[in-house]
């Protein structure tokens, strides 16, 4: 990553720039975003180049020093409970859908207008490969997997999430939830909640199952490097069921949002 993009990303994510190595001919610097390490190389030249001058004059004198115990955005002490950036609000977002059924999403604002953040995909098994169904008639007979993809046009953080159902099941129906659903070229989904699959057969009617907690990572709709709509804030609910099974589910997300 070039220096201009690197320092802009560090500023946007509110991360400290760290010096990894200093060689005779280059600097290797990095920022740490959870488990991810993002690096940048600045070449040393004579006379000094613009990137080198900017880094050496404005960043190097204080780099790798004691990290302040103050939050970069608010100036408050870091151990002060602060779960989201200033000005964000907490919100519970609900979307409902039915497996093996097109146009079954309920996701509306208080004016009863479609919000439009979710979409459905339906898959069948053909010669050992899962491919998308062609139409509702195909779905009714062959659909064995229903995906709900949720991608809001905002930045947000996940606080918790649940899946609920209105009716009990007398057969297995498994749910997985994936986060940061990137295109395959960028590595595909980055993490999966409840790996192994939650079997909704064990959940009672009007009960829910899920996770509660606080995530410290902002999921950006307009990613600093990939641009808007790349999937860096997409969440996917994967439901595996018997062929053509129609079962209504409710997905709830407790988030902090911009």
Give residue-wise pLDDT tens across range 103-118. Answer: 999 999 999 999 999 9
The residue-averaged pLDDT of 2-26 equals 88
Give rounded-to-5 percent helix, strand, coil for the chain. Answer: 15, 45, 45
Q: With a cut of 60, say whether residue 68 has pLDDT above it.
A: no
Looking at residue 70, what is its pLDDT? 54
pLDDT tens by residue, 146-166: 999 999 999 888 888 889 998
The reply to whether the predicted model has a pTM over 0.85 is no
Helix (H) or strand (E) holding 47: none
Looking at residue 77, what is its pLDDT? 45
User: 219 falls in which pLDDT band (50, 70, 90)?
Assistant: confident
Kindly list the distances between the CA atom of residue 167 and the CA atoms of 2, 11, 55, 163, 253, in Å, as whole numbers in the listed order: 54, 48, 61, 13, 20
- The CATH code of the domain at 89-257 is 2.60.120
According to CATH, where is 2.60.120 located in the chain? 89-257
């Amino acid at each position: 990553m070039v220096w201009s993009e690197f320092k802009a990303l560090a500023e946007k994510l509110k991360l400290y720039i760290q010096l990894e190595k200093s060689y005779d001919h280059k600097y290797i610097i990095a920022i740490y975003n959870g488990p991810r390490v993002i690096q940048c190389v600045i070449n040393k030249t004579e006379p000094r180049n613009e990137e080198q001058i900017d880094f050496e004059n404005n960043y190097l004198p204080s780099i790798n020093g004691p990290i302040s115990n103050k939050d970069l955005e608010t100036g408050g002490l870091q151990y002060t409970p602060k779960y989201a950036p200033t000005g964000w609000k907490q919100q519970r977002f609900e979307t409902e859908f039915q497996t093996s059924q097109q146009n079954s999403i309920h996701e509306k604002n208080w004016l009863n207008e479609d919000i439009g953040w979710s979409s459905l995909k339906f898959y069948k098994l053909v010669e050992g490969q899962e491919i998308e169904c062609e139409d509702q008639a195909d779905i009714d007979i062959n659909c064995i997997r229903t995906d709900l993809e949720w991608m809001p046009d905002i930045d947000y953080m996940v606080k918790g999430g649940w899946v609920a159902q209105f009716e009990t099941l007398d057969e297995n129906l498994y749910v997985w939830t994936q986060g940061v659903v990137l295109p395959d070229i960028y590595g595909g989904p980055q993490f999966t909640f409840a790996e192994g699959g939650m079997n909704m057969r064990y959940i009672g009617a009007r009960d829910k199952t899920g996770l509660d907690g606080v995530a410290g990572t902002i999921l950006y709709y307009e990613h600093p490097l990939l641009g808007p709509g790349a999937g860096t804030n997409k969440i996917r609910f994967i439901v595996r069921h018997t062929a053509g099974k129609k079962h209504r589910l409710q997905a709830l997300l407790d988030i902090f949002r911009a």
